[in-house]
Structure 1
């Protein structure tokens, strides 16, 4: 299941990297 793999990957990431990715994602959607 691709979603579970993605969740596992996100769960294993450091929070600061997660935050910067989330911000980039939000910025990308907003533009």
Structure 2
């Protein structure tokens, strides 16, 4: 896979956020 390919983990993370009606693509602040 090329470097510009989204990782499976990132895609799953975004999917879970979208599922919860969170459509923000920016990363949340880390504690």
TM-score (norm 1): 0.49
TM-score (norm 2): 0.49
